[in-house]
Structure 1
Amino acid sequence: MSLETVVEDIRDEARERAKEIRADADERADEIVAEAEADADDIIADAEAEVTAEIDQEREQQLSSAELEAKQMRLEARRDALQSVRSAVEDRIVALDGDEREELTRELLDAASTEFDGADTVRVFGRADDEALISEILDDYDGYEYAGEYDCLGGVVVESDASRIRVNNTFDSILADAWENNLKAISARLFDEEQ
């Protein structure tokens, strides 16, 4: 074997080894590229999922916000409707006159007077427009006097020095109690709801 043959064999082996190294390197490079592409796909998929989740969350928040706003608007409309009904009732109460107003005022005074048995002087307050009516009714009560006006729809407020009690038997207080006790039924009837 000549030196040239040995050199040629070494070169062939070196070429083969270089070819193997290149093949291994290419294979490893392909693996790295494949891993990088897979990682990139995962990153893209994760980013897409995150963006989709954010979009869904934003949509859900906007929907919830819109539903809440609509509910608040409905409640406000109901409150306005109930206030309108209450105002109409108050207007009708103020408009009561004649025998009906006298009868109701007398009943409220009778109910209040039970708290003042034996009192020498009992002061009765009422609506300014009802002064004549109340004074006329008080003619039937010993020791009772009209003491001035009270801002109300009608009825009476009764008090005495002998008693620490002040009885508010105004139409307002009766309406407030009736309204409170029947608000659910009023609302149901007004808005066609079942109780």
Structure 2
Amino acid sequence: MSLDTVVEDIREEAHARAEDIRSEGETRAEEIESAAEADAEEILADAEAEVEREIDQLREQRLSSAKLEAKQQRLEARRDVLGDVREAVEDELADLEGDTREELTRDLLEAASGEFDEGDDVSVYGRSDDQELLESILEDYDGYEYAGEVDCLGGVVVESDQSRVRVNNTFDSVLEDVWEDNLQAISNRLFEQ
């Protein structure tokens, strides 16, 4: 065997080995590339899913916020309407005249008088516009006298030092009690719930 043949054999073997290495490298590169593409697709899918979750969450937050705001606006509108109704009732009570006003005032004074002992000196306060009416009604009560005005829609505030009792039977206090006791029914009727 000549040196040329040995060199040729080594060269061929080196080429074959280089071809095997190149082939293995290409295979390995394809595997790496394939794995990288799979990882990239998975990362992309995860990112898209995360974006969708964030979009859904943001949508839910905005929807909840909008619902809450709408509910608050409805409640505020209802409060305004209830306030207007209450104000209208107060105006009607303040504007009562004649027999109706006298009858209600007498009833409220009579209810309050049950809290006092016979012989007590009783002071009666009322709306300034009702002074004449109250003085007229008090003529029927011994020991009762008009003592001055109180800021109210009508009715009476009655007190006695002997009994240490003060009774607020004003239209305002009666309205407050009726209003609180019937607020749900009033609201239901106004808003047909």
2:181 is the counterpart of 1:181: yes
1:148 aligns with 2:135: no
Structure 1 residues 119 and 13: CA distance shift in structure 2, 3 A:
farther
CA–CA separation in structure 2 for the residues paired with 1:115 and 1:183? 28
| CA–CA separation in structure 2 for the residues paired with 1:99 and 1:51 | 74
Shift of 1:95: 1.2
Structure 1 residue 164 displacement after superposition: 2.2
Note the C-alpha offset of 1:174.
0.8
In structure 2, the partner of 1:166 is: 166
Residues 129-182 of structure 1 deviation map (CA, whole Å, 9 limit, x = unaligned): 111111111111111111111111111011111122211111111111111111
The answer as to whether partners of 1:119 and 1:162 remain within 8 angstroms in 2 is: no
Following superposition, the deviation at residue 119 of structure 1 comes to: 4.5
Aligned positions, number: 193
The one-letter amino acid paired with 1:86 is R
Are 1:119 and 1:160, in contact at CA under 8 Å, matched by a contact in 2?
no
The residue type equivalent to 2:14 in the other structure is A
- C-alpha distance in structure 1 between counterparts of 2:19 and 2:163, whole Å: 118
Partner of 1:115: 115
Q: 2:157 is paired with a residue of what secondary structure?
A: strand
Match of 1:134 in 2: 134
AA in 1 matched with 2:3: L
For 1:77 and 1:59, the matched residues in 2 are separated by 27
Q: CA deviation at 1:99?
A: 1.0
Q: By how many angstroms is 1:126 displaced?
A: 0.7
- Matched residues, percent identical? 69
SS class of match (2:142): coil
CA contact (8 A) 1:125 1:148 kept: yes
Which runs of structure 1 show a deviation greater than 2 angstroms over 4 or more consecutive aligned residues? none
Measure the CA separation in 2 of the matches of 1:84 and 1:55: 43
The secondary structure found in structure 2 opposite 1:116 is: coil
Deviation at residue 120 of structure 1 after TM alignment: 2.8
The one-letter amino acid of 1:184's match is Q
Gaps of 5+ in 2: none
| 1:1-195 map, 5 Å | 1-193=1-193
Q: 1:105-135 CA distances to partner (integer Å, 9 max, x unpaired)?
A: 1111111111111353111111111111111
The answer to whether the 8 A contact 1:121-1:160 is kept is: yes
Give the whole-Å Cα distance in 2 for the aligned partners of 1:120 and 1:18.
Answer: 127
TM-score if structure 1 supplies the norm length? 0.95
What value does the CA root-mean-square deviation take over the aligned residues?
A: 1.1
Please state whether the residue corresponding to 2:114 is helix, strand or coil. Answer: helix
Partners of 2:120 and 2:163 within 8 A in 1: no
Q: Deviations over 1:74-122 (max 9, x none)?
A: 1111111111111111111111111111111111111111111135311
TM-score by length of structure 2 reads 0.96
